[in-house]
């Protein structure tokens, strides 16, 4: 099986990276991680990659004169790895328009909200403060605008009356570890097609279940 080569970009602990590593360990998973890149040398995700015998690199924006120079160095390193898909997994750096457009529909991100609601940072706290009944996570193709792009898949979790940002984050994170490998599988299998602002997934079954919160 010709497995899709994937580069994963991280900035921190790398739990979504670990979920992808674990998925790739399965012999029938149609993708493999060929490179892990962090913009921070203290990111534990680098150690996760090394423990899995994956090539790793640290590329820091502060080591370059401007954003474009950083993006160019990052792009060169990723292309040298042979990667054909980039997964952002807690990568806390806004990539430039040129980089994003050069990887159009081959660059995906996971975000801890039901986009287009709650873009940016601290979104779990925003969800709790706004009193929404449901939150969740989204895997989407990346566009130059922050947390924008065609949605591949989402997972929905309830917001409980006693939730704070930490407890809601933990509930969402569990589902991130489920849907990110699933989205990568679909892409690697060639089942995903972008049509305008929408994503079509061949042979996917829509979940027709209605969710109501709270209930009597």
For residue range 4-50, list pLDDT tens digits in order: 999 999 999 999 999 999 999 999 999 999 999 999 999 999 999 99
In the chain, the percentage of residues whose pLDDT exceeds 70 is 100
Would you state the pLDDT for residue 216?
80
Residue 127's CB is within 10 A of a number of other CB atoms, namely 26
93 and 180 share a domain? no
Would you state the pLDDT for residue 98?
97
Would you state the pLDDT for residue 83?
98
Would you state the pLDDT for residue 93?
95
DSSP state of 61: G
CB 95 within 8 A of CB 68: no
- Tell me the catalytic residues: 111
Average per-residue pLDDT for the chain = 97
132 and 171 share a domain? yes
Would you state the pLDDT for residue 45?
98
What CATH number is attached to the domain comprising 80? 3.40.50.170
Residue at 146 is within a domain: yes
Q: Which of 35, 26, 34 is nearest to 1 (CA)?
A: 26
Backbone angles phi, psi at 203, to 5 degrees: 65, 15
Residue at 216 is within a domain: no
Distance (Å) of CA 172 to CA 16, 38, 176: 12, 23, 6
Among 82, 103, 124, identify where a domain stops. Answer: 103
C-alpha of 168 from chain center: 18
Q: Is the pLDDT of residue 130 over 90?
A: yes
Q: Residue 135 belongs to what domain range?
A: 110-211
75 and 117 share a domain? no
Would you state the pLDDT for residue 91?
98
The mean per-residue pLDDT over the stretch 176-182 comes to 98
d(CA 154, CA 1): 28
pTM to 2 decimal places = 0.97
**Number of domains composing the chain:** 2
169 and 146 share a domain? yes
* pLDDT tens sequence across 181-208: 999 999 999 999 999 999 999 999 999 9
Residue at 194 is within a domain: yes
CB 112 within 8 A of CB 92: no
The mean per-residue pLDDT over the stretch 48-59 comes to 98
Would you state the pLDDT for residue 199?
98
């Amino acid at each position: 099986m010709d497995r899709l080569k994937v580069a994963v970009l991280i900035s921190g602990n790398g739990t979504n990276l670990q979920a992808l590593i674990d998925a790739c360990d399965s012999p029938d998973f149609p993708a493999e991680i060929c490179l892990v890149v962090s913009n921070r040398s203290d990111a534990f995700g680098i150690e996760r990659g090394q423990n899995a015998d994956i090539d790793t690199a640290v590329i820091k924006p502060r080591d370059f004169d401007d954003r474009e120079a950083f993006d160019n160095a990052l792009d060169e390193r990723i292309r040298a790895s042979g990667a054909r898909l980039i997964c952002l997994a807690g990568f806390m750096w806004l990539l430039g328009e040129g980089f994003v457009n050069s990887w159009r529909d081959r660059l995906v991100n996971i975000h801890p909200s039901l986009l287009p609601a709650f873009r940016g940072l601290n979104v779990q706290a925003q969800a709790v403060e706004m009193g929404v009944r449901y939150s969740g996570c989204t895997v989407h193709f990346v566009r130059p605008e922050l947390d924008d792009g065609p949605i591949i898949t989402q997972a929905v979790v309830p917001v409980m009356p006693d939730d704070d940002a930490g407890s809601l984050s933990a509930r969402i994170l569990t589902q991130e570890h489920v849907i990110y490998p699933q989205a990568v599988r679909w892409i690697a299998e060639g089942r995903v097609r972008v049509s305008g602002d929408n994503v079509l997934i061949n042979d996917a079954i829509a979940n027709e279940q209605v969710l109501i919160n709270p209930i009597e």
